[in-house]
Structure 1
Amino acid sequence: MTSPSPALVWFREDLRLADNPALRAALDSGRPVLCVYIFDEQSPGLRAMGGASRWWLHHSLDALDADLRKIGGRLDVFRGAARTVLELLVRDTSAAALYWTRRYDRAGMAIDTAIKAELGARIAVESFGGKLLAEPWTIKTKTGGPFRVFTPFWRTVLAAPEPPAPRPAPRMIDGAPTPKGAIELDDLKLLPRKPDWAGGLRAAWTPGEKSAARRLATFLDENVRDYAERRDFPDADATSRLSPHLAFGEISPRQIWAATRHAMAVDPRMQRGCDKFLSEIGWREFSYCLLFHNPDLPTKNFDAR
């Protein structure tokens, strides 16, 4: 008997199970789900990862694979240009659908647009917001253009309807068989070996979705109340330390928003710290909006003066 055609989930900067719309769409399709990560150093325009990011990526992928295996899935790893790898995957697995979370840099969007054009004529291809509270094109000035200043941008975000509530992680996945061409995570050689300089990283950080959730919970329990006053003191353990977890998508801004709003509702004394913390999440949103509307931002000054 022929196996049902799978739905592919292309994980990128969304290495989590909870509040992952692309993964949820694959599950809702009713098809077996094939979860893949493509380590792409070949596509034009993509920035090479530094050593610390490579270390984090290894452990984040390992954690995601372990979490998927607990519920019946698995993360299959590939190496190569994403367009080529996905073309072969669709052909070899007879995949019926492909889902991913959007990215907002020029090179990444160009790759995604080309893949949609090529594969979308044959299978269902859909991208989802999951990296930001709101898509960059939805936050506009009164004249319909993009914001160039943070304060009015953030006022507009706060005046908009609340972001959708984050979705929980799935309890079960009907995992598709491993396709040919998959490699072992260690084959990517992301970890430093000779010398192994990552001892400080191991002592200070634990990548992965569960660690991200613990960090947020600890911050809201212990540090957010005084965050507005203490966050600028380097000697104080006063910040959330969520930055790398957000960068790799181990936690979503919607999860942070919902948990912080809940903390405020439970204890109004936390409001000042929570408001300041959410405004820092707002600066992240603003930066992505600037990047989306000004794709030369990585190489050219935003203000020519």
Structure 2
Amino acid sequence: MTRPIIVWFRDDLRLTDNTALHWAAERGPVVGLTVDETVGRPLGAAARWWRRHSEASISEKLPLIRAKGDPREVVPRIAQALGAEVTWNRRYHLTDVDAAVKERIGATSHPGFLLTEPWEVVTGSGTPFKVFTPFYKAVQALLIDAPPHPLEAPQFESADVDVAALSDADSVEEPAWSQTLAAHNTPGEDAALARFHEFLERLRDGGSYDNNDLAGGMTSGLSPHLRFGELSPGYVWAETAALADEYTAAAPHAWAFLRQVVWREFAWHRYYHVPKMETRNVRGQFDHFDWAWTERAVPSSDEHAFAHQAMDPETEHLDELAQWQRGETGVPLVDAGMRELWATGAMHNRVRMVAGSWLTKNLGIHWRHGEEWFWDTLVDADVASNPFNWQWVAGSGDDAAPYFRVFNPELQREKFDPNGAYVSKWVPEALTPMYPEPMVEIKESRKRALAAYDDMKAATES
């Protein structure tokens, strides 16, 4: 009897262009495995909702064991029970966990989570990149010389396995806002492929891609599908680059989109070289920044507790944080973004920057509070991208130049939502007498933020 092959799915919940699955399909009957891991950072509620539904989608295509626990115990136990080989696509966090599993059972791993391996793309001096534009050019050059060749979904034999008997993952409690999440999102590979090809068709027909479009309809909407690997970045790159080559008019929009895909790549490149980014300032000088709440007020990362839930109710600025979370800041663009987030599990990228700037710079609240809120409420909350982007907007991260930039939310609204379509959709009372004044005065709070940056600079130079 041929030994079954276990494909341990992580953030690669797809059949198309899945290197590990192809490797398994060529060697024997296949059974999938997902592990609700009790090591590392637990998923936030919205991302957990997405993953559960994405797993359900892939379980319709192959037998899928859904287990819970420490993979260092779970994966070898299931492999032994089935007398199975194990394979997976590499990831770039929890690498010590994967190394321990591989040491116990001799598993096989493959690339495919990123366009390039984090150690492949280096500066001329052989060091990791810290600035995005040269990183993008290096990745682009690599992929033009050696373009990805995506694999079609393979034909495979399903292993004859009683997946229910081997599954022990608890049913996941639906987040309080799951009905609105379901109304705005469709997890799973089939939905991802459909949305991606609709996007390409739009570009082919002369449509635009504009990452600053707030009114809707000009972005791709693919972020959560990429986050959970329902689409591989190699497949996305190959199909989009081919479109750019074939349709001259579509090329600028196609490459603008691919630049954003490489931004995700850059976040993982930096996270691989600077782990624990979710709890530590990348730029050490920001350890001296006068946040309204210092890191000493935040639970240790080992506790995996949300700081806003763990802090004393009497703590200064807790009310301001809650107003920001609810979208009741008195700043129309910020409030629109925060309400969009709660309703849909998503927020437009431009508005993420403005909302993050308001929290960290105008209110002076530590970026970790914002990062943790997004971690819990975004369907695309990603181990690397979420803290990377928060540190970028706070000024404490890589390539955050100028780090002292403070977004003016009113100027941003006038520039990117000139007709008010985005704001009126999510904050219908905005610009009416019912709408409150901003929590803090925009110009004065900007001056305070710049003064705090000056103080930090003086402290680190003395």
Q: TM-score range by the shorter chain?
A: 0.7 to 0.9
Structure 1 residues 56-113: Cα deviation after superposition (integer angstroms, max 9, x where no partner): 1111011101122xxxxx1111122111111211221112x211111112xx111001
Q: Is the 8 A contact 2:241 2:254 kept in 1?
A: yes
1:150 matched to 2:144? The reply is no
Letter in 2 for 1:61: E
Distance 2:155 2:23 in 1: 15
* % same residue: 34
Distance across 1 between alignment mates of 2:164 and 2:253? 50
Structure 1 residue 180: deviation in Å?
Answer: 7.4
The structural deviation recorded for 1:181 is 4.5
In structure 1, what is the equivalent of residue 41 of structure 2? 47
Matched, 1:63 2:57: yes
RCO higher in 1 or 2 (8 Å CA, sep ≥ 6)?
1
Amino acid at match of 2:22: R
Aligned equivalents of 1:181, 1:163: Cα separation in 2: 43
Superposition TM-score, scaled by structure 2 size: 0.58
Deviations 1:220-275 (A, max 9, x none): 222585545x3212112211111111111100001111111122123110111111
Q: Which runs of 5+ in 2 are unaligned?
A: 286-462
The answer on 1:266 being equivalent to 2:243 is no
Distance 1:284 1:277, change over 3 A: same
Q: Is 2:91 the counterpart of 1:103?
A: yes
Aligned amino acid, residue 65 of structure 2: D
Secondary structure of the residue aligned to 2:284 is coil
Q: 2:112 aligns with which of 119, 126, 130?
A: 130
* 2-structure distance, mates of 1:135, 1:178: 36
- Give the whole-Å Cα distance in 1 for the aligned partners of 2:266 and 2:186: 27
Alignment CA distance shift 1:179-1:94 (3 Å): farther
| Alpha-carbon shift at residue 4 of structure 1 (Å) | 2.6
Match of 1:297 in 2: 277
Distance 1:59 1:268 in 2: 38
- Take 2:156 and 2:79, find their aligned partners in 1: how far apart are those partners? 23
Q: What is the RMSD computed on CA atoms of the aligned residues?
A: 1.9
User: 2:153: which partner in 1?
Assistant: 169
Distance 1:163 1:262 in 2: 10
Larger proportion of helix: 2
The structure having more radius of gyration, on CA atoms, is 2
Structure 1 residue 162, shift from structure 2 partner: 3.2
Question: Secondary structure of 1:263's match?
Answer: helix
Which whole-Å deviations, capped at 9, do the CAs of 1:138-161 have from their partners, x for residues lacking one? 111111111111111111111112
TM-score by length of 1: 0.87
1:172-203 CA-partner distances (Å, limit 9, x unpaired)? 3242423674237xx6322417x5x2121111
2:22 to 21, 24, 40: 24
Whether 2:77 is the aligned partner of 1:77: answer: no
- The letter for the 1-side match of 2:83 is S
Q: Counterpart of 1:115?
A: 101
For 1:110, the aligned partner's letter is D
User: Which consecutive aligned stretches of 4+ in structure 1 deviate over 6 angstroms post-superposition?
Assistant: none
